[in-house]
Amino acid sequence: MGEFSIWHWLIVLLIVIMIFGTKKLKNMGSDLGEAVRGFKQGMKETDAPAEKTAETDAAATAATPPPQVTASAKSPLGTRAEQAEDIAFKAK
16 and 25 Cβ atoms separated by less than 8 Å: yes
The predicted-structure confidence for 70-92, as pLDDT tens digits, reads as follows 655 566 666 777 888 888 888 76
8 Å CB contact between 46 and 38 = no
CB neighbours (10 Å) of residue 20? 13
Every domain of the chain and the residues it spans: 1-60
Catalogue the E-assigned strands of 1-92.
none
Q: First vs last Cα of the chain: how many Å apart?
A: 102
Its pTM surpasses 0.75? no
3-state DSSP assignment of residue 7: helix
Tell me the per-residue pLDDT of 4-38, one tens digit each, with 9 for 90 and over. 899 999 999 999 889 988 888 888 889 999 999 99
- CA 10 to centroid of chain Cα atoms: 44
